[in-house]
Amino acid sequence: MTQKKRIFSGMQPTGILTLGNYLGAMRNWVALQDEYDCIYSIVDLHSLTIRHEPKDLRQYRISLLAQYIACGIDPEKCILFMQSHVSAHAELTWILNCYTYMGELNRMTQFKEKAAKNESNINAGLFTYPVLMAADILLYQTHLVPVGEDQKQHLELARDIAGRFNGLYGDVFQIPEPYIPKVGARIMSLQDPESKMSKSDSNQNAFISLLDPPETIVRKFKRAVTDSETVVRFDIENKPGISNLMSIYSSVTGKSLEDIEREFEGKGYGDFKLAVGEAVAETLRPIQERYKDLLASRDYLEDVMKEGAEAAGYIAGKTLNKVYRKIGLR
């Protein structure tokens, strides 16, 4: 019997997922779970780089677990766990920090962007964040990492760290590959189509939350920033707003960009925006129903977390032991 390849990915418990998180990452996680050996984490240690009220963080963590399952992640098929429940993540991070160069971390665009946004709290965790992400991935001998476009640079760093470590000590880590979707890898803000849709945006109209009611979704698309033409045509450079809406519509309906251009030939932006809003609302409706039921099943969620932590801890422990032996700490 050939062993299934391993997948690992994670999201931060920093709020309700956006349509960007769903189309860029989560939907692939679901699609891959039959064919691969999947491990999905709620990366709560990563979210400490920004200050949260403890009670909010507690709520975000359990809510994100319910969102994962509502989107279709099946705890019977995958390992689902809370990063902070497996101490190997923090342990391996320290070691990998000693194999990562300041120059490498200095080049990370996410650090530069987040540091610019949080001038009053540019902590060391924000800087070494990609090393914790490398530890997450490498602990599980991961082959494939499904993420959105913005995480590509972090993944390349994880590959470099793994290669460097293997070069010194032999084959300790599997070298991971990114898995980035062709459509939907970078969903843009509805209010500023030049920047990424983000769940921590202060402007609520800039993103679609997975839990927005249908009327809100339709309204947010109606208000989406476009251009002064009236033609539905894909042209990222000159028509970033319309192109973003076309990518979203294509992702949720499966229609090609050419088909969409044809469908809306001779029609105005109003018709197009309404169609996008309705298609998105329809996609999210079943997720929202399942989410409500899951949040009410607290014991079930606790059980999933407990079992996930045990299964993940076992695999991670094996890699960590090997690392300790190789570097002379055993």
Q: Which residues are catalytic?
A: 114, 196, 199
Stretch that binds ligand ATP, among 55-63, 194-202, 223-231, 317-325 (CB under 6 A): 194-202
100 binds ligand ATP (CB under 6 A): no
Q: How far apart are CA 46 and CA 11, in angstroms?
A: 9
Of 144-152, 166-174, 235-243, 312-320, which part binds ligand ATP (CB under 6 A)? 144-152
- Given the rule CB under 6 A, which residues bind ligand LTN? 8-12, 43, 46, 133, 136-137, 145, 147, 151, 154
Check binding of 318 to ligand ATP (CB under 6 A).
no
Position 186 contacts ligand ATP (CB under 6 A)? yes
Question: What is the per-residue DSSP string for 217-249?
Answer: HHHHHHT----S-------TTT-HHHHHHHHHH
At 29, give phi and psi (nearest 5°): -55, -45
What's the CA gap between 65 and 73, in Å, rounded?
10
Nearest residue to the partner ligand ATP, using Cβ = 24
Selected from 49, 67, 151, 243, the binder of ligand ATP by CB under 6 A is 151
Minimum distance, C-beta of residue 193 to ligand ATP, in the bound complex (Å):
11
DSSP state of 296: T
Contacted entry of ligand ATP, ligand LTN, none for residue 260, CB cut-off 5 to 8 Å set by kind: none
**Segment 270-309, which members bind ligand ATP (CB under 6 A)?**
none
Beta strands across the sheet bearing 144-146: 79-82, 37-42, 6-11, 144-146, 177-179
CA angle 124, 179, 199 (to 5 degrees): 50
Q: What's the one-letter identity of residue 321?
A: N
Among residues 108, 103, 92, the alpha carbon closest in space to that of 173 is found at 92
Among residues 217 and 323, whose Cβ is nearest to ligand ATP?
217
The residues of the shown chain that bind ligand ATP, judged by CB under 6 A, are: 11-12, 14, 18, 20-21, 24-25, 147-148, 150-151, 185-187, 196-200
